[in-house]
A and B are shown apart, each in its own frame.
Chain A
Amino acid sequence: MTTIEVTDVVKRFESFEALKGVSVTLAEKRIGVVGSNGSGKSTFARLLNGLVLPTRGSVVVDGLDTAKAGKAIRRRVGFVFQNPDNQIVFPVVEEDVAFGLKGLKLPRDERESLVDTVLSRYGLEHLRQQPAHTLSGGQKQLLAIAGALITNPACVVFDEPTTLLDLRNARMIARTIREMEQTVIVVTHDLALLNEFDRVLVFDEGRILVDDAPSAALARYVERMQ
């Protein structure tokens, strides 16, 4: 189980302060993050794997500081973006899934076996030689998840994974997230997705407003939004 310690984090983008002294320790298996647009939740998500570094404070993942061991942390904490089109970087499905393995210098057989396993897990094996741009939205999001999981991260952060999907594909991705054995941290506006989660953080104006079990946290969030 991954432990992420966020200590007194402030994040400024020029004059805009996106996070204002956030401190929290994340050790549960399923953690949801909600909040209105501009509340700082996406910046918070990007802090967790070192894509964004704190202006002040620290983020420590399993003892590794994101400011000092960014690459090791990115192998430990995978990230799935809202728009899979921006995450898929190779033109063909199987090539894109294999992208994360490039730095590991694995033998070709082992690399192919890993690609087979992950494509099969997400039902993409029949699309392995398909150009990525011809996939449906749901298939692209599955491919993005497969690409993030190929290096076997201990934790995966999802930034609004169902926002661009239709209902059927959103449900399919939600089911996929629920079935994952990794620690998952999901930033979302889809409150139903978080029902069976262990913990939900509600962000508001760069601070954690509520940190509670899903039912209580989401009730407070809905109340706040009215």
Chain B
Amino acid sequence: MSPTPSSESHAPARTRPGRSPLHRMPAGIKLLVLAAAGTGLAFTTSLWVLGGALALTGAGYAIARQPVRRLFGVIRPMIWLLVPIFLVQGFMESWILAVAIVTRIITLVALAQLVTLTTPSDTMIAVITRALTPFRVFGVHPGKVALAISLALRFLPVIGGLAQEVRDAQRARGLGHNPLALALPLLIRTLRMAGDVTDAIEARSGGDDDEDAAPARTPVPVTPRAGSAAASSPAPAPRSS
């Protein structure tokens, strides 16, 4: 029973555990740096500043001991977006501005990827939840925002897999590349899945912070397997409610 990377190609970046200074840096600081870079770089077209930021980001990959191919792995899927932007800006404005804009996009995406690679998603979500807490007075529910982010991260590859299934089924029936023929069944399957996911969240009692009056049972789950690492864990709680 080995893991199957069936939908790996649709997957967002995931954390690569490590002990580098960037891995140990608090997630809040990394997100602040990312936000500051996003804001700061938007206001400059200086190739020196943008080139310096890209070099620093590259150095960040080296400090986090992430192979260079991961940096190129971020850029490769964006080529189809970057080339038209570069050409349009080059012909309509100037080639220097075109280089600046493309460098800015690559730097920010690579920096965001570096944060993702060095920060577990639950840590990142916890920071976002804390940061949103003051906005409760405006009706923002931090727990629900955090859950929405988790669901987006979780279901991007799943929906990518669904799209592949629909495409394969259509190809098997002799249909060519028709975006509408792909979009409709994909939308229906995604909506149906959303209903099931809502049920699952409800069933796992995670969708709401409010508690019913009746107390939960002591959450010590199961008797460990004989010989397993858990066999040395504390004895489970009594099964009676």
* Partner-B contacts on A (CB < 8 A): 2, 46, 49, 51, 62, 64, 69-72, 74-76, 78-79, 81, 83, 85-92, 95-96, 98-104, 106, 113-114, 116-118, 120-121, 123, 125, 127, 129-136, 138-139, 147-154, 168-169, 172, 180-182
In the complex, the answer to whether A64 meets B209 with C-beta atoms within 8 Å is no
Q: Which of A74, A91, A100, A153 has the most CB of B within 10 A?
A: A91
CB-defined A-B contacts under 8 Å, sample of 23: A2-B241, A46-B199, A69-B212, A72-B213, A72-B216, A76-B241, A81-B203, A89-B200, A92-B122, A104-B219, A114-B219, A114-B221, A117-B233, A120-B229, A120-B230, A121-B224, A131-B14, A131-B157, A134-B3, A135-B4, A152-B237, A180-B222, A181-B239
Additional pairs, 18, CB under 8 Å, beyond known A92-B121, A95-B150, A117-B230: A71-B212, A86-B197, A87-B197, A87-B204, A89-B150, A92-B120, A92-B122, A103-B208, A103-B209, A114-B221, A120-B229, A132-B154, A133-B161, A136-B1, A150-B221, A151-B217, A151-B219, A154-B239
B interface residues, how many (CB within 8 angstroms)? 61
Q: Which of the candidate stretches B5-13, B45-53, B68-76, B132-140 sits at the interface with the other chain?
A: B5-13
B204 close to A89 (CB less than 8 A) = yes
Dominant SS among interface residues on chain A: helix
Q: Which residues of B contact A153 (CB under 8 A)?
A: 217
B-chain residues with CB within 8 Å of residue A78 when the two chains form the complex = 203
Query: Is B202 on the interface with A (CB-CB < 8 A)?
Result: yes
Contact A71 B201 (CB under 8 A): no
Q: B-side binding surface: helix, strand, loop or mixed?
A: loop
Q: How far is the CB of A145 from chain B (nearest CB, A)?
A: 10
Cα separation A133 to B120 with both chains bound (whole Å): 16
Indicate if B164 sits at the interface (CB-CB under 8 A): no
Q: Are B200 and A81 in contact (CB under 8 A)?
A: yes
Report how far A121 CA is from B196 CA in the complex, Å.
27
Query: Is there an interface contact between A114 and B230, defined as CB atoms closer than 8 Å?
Result: no
B47-68 interface with A by 8 A CB criterion = none
Complex-state Cα separation, A72 to B217, whole angstroms = 9
Of all chain B residues, which has the CB nearest A88?
A: B154
Asked, given contacts A86-B197, A134-B5, A135-B3, whether A92 binds B14 with beta carbons under 8 Å apart, the answer is: yes
Tell whether, in the assembled complex, residue B3 and residue A72 are in contact, meaning their CB atoms are under 8 Å apart. no
- Complex Cα gap A130–B120 (Å): 11
Question: Is B224 a contact partner of A106 (Cβ separation < 8 A)?
Answer: no
Q: What are the interface flags for B214-241 relative to A under an 8 Å C-beta threshold, 1 for contact and 0 otherwise? A: 1111111111110011100100010101
B99 at the interface (CB under 8 A from A): no
Q: Which residues of B contact A71 (CB under 8 A)?
A: 205, 208, 210-212
Chain A nearest Cβ from B29, distance in angstroms: 20
Q: Which residue in chain B gives the minimum CB-CB distance to A154?
A: B241
The answer on a CB contact under 8 Å between A118 and B221 is yes
A51 and B199 contacting across the interface, CB-CB below 8 Å: yes
A62 contacts B161, C-beta separation under 8 Å: no
Q: Are A76 and B208 in contact (CB under 8 A)?
A: no
Contact with A138, one of B1, B122, B151, B230 (Cβ below 8 angstroms): B1
In the complex, B17 has a CB within 8 A of chain A:
yes
Report yes or no: A62 in contact with B208, Cβ–Cβ below 8 A: no
A62 / chain B contacts, CB cutoff of 8 Å: 241
Kindly list chain A residues whose C-beta atoms are within 8 Å of the C-beta of B12: 91
